């Protein structure tokens, strides 16, 4: 995204879901925020974000998720406001959002929509902001937003999610998402985790070796989510789903983010489809979504 790019009338972007292949919650700051360390991986599953400049103010239309607000309580709307304030451009845009990613499920849909909105607005207005400025705006909106602006579908992130190391994506894996009927409130998950840790409120020190991020076998061995123990205690069904995914052949079975979505990684589409069917039979109240890990980087367009 270079400065001075020609303006367009309309931009449509895919806002991809994400998984956390590793999620460590580190020390809590005096501000109350927790430091994080996570390995992000984007998926082929995506919302559609279409943005056009013009009109009066910011108009947001949402299709496929009637429960989502369309005003300032929506992260996409807030992203548009933040962009126009930072770029000193008139706040005039129409944003159409078609949802496919389940909301509030630990898949980063809202954050990805917000990131795509920032990218689209920047393209439509001649790229007044550098990539680093977009990431700074994204970090203020949420800890997942910078990942979707970093230029790779695979990245290590730490701090509040605003420190990122883009990585070369690995060969794609088939993914089964298992989405329960209930949601997990992120703030509650942080609170319960802090309470479970007591006074120390931080995990032990660790060294991350680069070779452990260069292949699926090592990533599977290291896959962990610090939220799982406290979330599983509140929602035991998720622990049963994780065991079932492993039993049905998943090389990785983990909760994404603070939940409630569980995911399993499989080497073939056939294995994923078979596992998804068995999961639905064993847990009739859940729904499954079959997708794959995404291999996009800014280097390949």
263 closest CA partner among 231, 294, 290, 227:
290
Task: Say whether 144 is catalytic.
Answer: yes
Point out the catalytic residue in the list 144, 192, 226, 242.
144
Q: Is residue 210 part of a domain?
A: yes
Residue 201 has pLDDT above 70, yes or no: no
| pLDDT band at residue 5 under the 50/70/90 scheme | very low
Boundary of a domain, candidates 145, 166, 187: 166
What tokens appear for 175 in the block? 């993914």
The CATH number linked to 249 is: 3.30.70.890
In 3-state terms, what secondary structure has residue 219? helix
Q: Is residue 298 part of a domain?
A: no
Boundary of a domain, candidates 116, 148, 166: 166
Instruction: Specify whether 149 is located in the same domain as 251.
Output: no
Half-sphere exposure of 226 (CA within 13 A, CB side): 24
Residue 36 has pLDDT above 70, yes or no: yes
Q: Is residue 50 part of a domain?
A: yes
Q: What is the pLDDT of residues 209-236, one digit of tens each?
A: 899 999 999 999 999 999 999 999 999 9
Beta bridge partners of 254: 263
Q: What's the CA gap between 264 and 249, in Å, rounded?
A: 9
The CATH number linked to 21 is: 3.30.230.10
Is the CB of residue 18 less than 8 Å from the CB of residue 148? yes
Q: What is the pLDDT of residues 41-60, one digit of tens each?
A: 999 999 999 999 998 899 99
pTM: 0.92
The predicted structure's pLDDT at residue 9: 83
Q: Is residue 300 part of a domain?
A: no
Q: Is residue 301 part of a domain?
A: no
User: DSSP H helical segments within 97-160, as ranges?
Assistant: 109-124, 131-141
CA distances from 174 to 47, 192, 273 (A): 19, 32, 9
Strands 10-28 and 92-98, how do they pair?
unpaired
For the packed helices 109-124 and 131-141, what is the interaxial angle rounded to 10 degrees? 150
Q: What's the CA gap between 164 and 155, in Å, rounded?
A: 7
Cis bond before residue 260 (omega within 30° of 0): yes
Boundary of a domain, candidates 119, 149, 166: 166
Q: What is the mean pLDDT of the chain?
A: 91
Q: What's the CA gap between 179 and 268, in Å, rounded?
A: 21
Instruction: Specify whether 256 is located in the same domain as 119.
Output: no
Point out the catalytic residue in the list 18, 89, 99, 242.
18
Report percent pLDDT > 90 for the chain. Answer: 78
In 3-state terms, what secondary structure has residue 284? coil
Q: What's the CA gap between 273 and 251, in Å, rounded?
A: 15
Instruction: Specify whether 198 is located in the same domain as 140.
Output: no
Instruction: Specify whether 162 is located in the same domain as 16.
Output: yes
How many domains does the structure of the chain reveal? 2
Residue 257 has pLDDT above 60, yes or no: yes
């Amino acid at each position: 995204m270079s400065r001075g790019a020609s303006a367009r009338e309309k931009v449509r972007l895919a806002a991809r879901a994400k998984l956390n292949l590793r999620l460590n919650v580190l020390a809590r700051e005096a501000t109350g925020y927790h430091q994080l360390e996570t390995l992000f991986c984007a998926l082929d599953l995506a919302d559609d974000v279409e943005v056009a400049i013009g009109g009066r103010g910011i108009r947001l239309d949402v299709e496929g998720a009637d429960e989502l607000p369309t005003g300032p309580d929506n992260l996409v709307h807030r992203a548009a406001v933040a962009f126009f304030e930072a770029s000193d451009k008139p706040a005039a845009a129409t944003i159409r959002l078609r949802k496919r990613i389940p909301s509030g499920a630990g898949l980063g849909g809202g954050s990805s929509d917000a990131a795509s909105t920032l990218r689209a607005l920047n393209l439509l207005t001649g790229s007044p902001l550098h990539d680093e400025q977009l990431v700074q705006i994204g970090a203020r909106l949420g800890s997942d937003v910078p990942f979707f602006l970093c230029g790779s579908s695979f990245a290590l992130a730490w701090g509040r999610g605003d420190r990122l190391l883009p990585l070369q994506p690995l060969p794609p894996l088939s993914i089964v998402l298992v989405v329960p009927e209930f949601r997990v409130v992120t703030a509650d998950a942080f609170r319960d985790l802090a309470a479970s840790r007591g006074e120390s409120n931080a995990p032990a020190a660790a060294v991350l070796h680069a070779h452990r991020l260069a292949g699926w076998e090592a990533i599977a061995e290291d896959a962990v989510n610090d939220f799982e123990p406290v979330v599983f205690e509140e929602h035991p069904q998720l622990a049963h789903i994780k065991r079932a995914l492993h039993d049905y052949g998943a090389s990785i079975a983990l909760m994404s983010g603070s939940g409630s979505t569980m995911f399993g990684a499989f080497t073939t589409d056939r294995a994923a489809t078979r596992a998804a069917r068995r999961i639905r039979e064993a847990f009739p109240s859940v729904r499954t979504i079959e997708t794959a890990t995404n291999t996009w980087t800014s280097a390949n367009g």
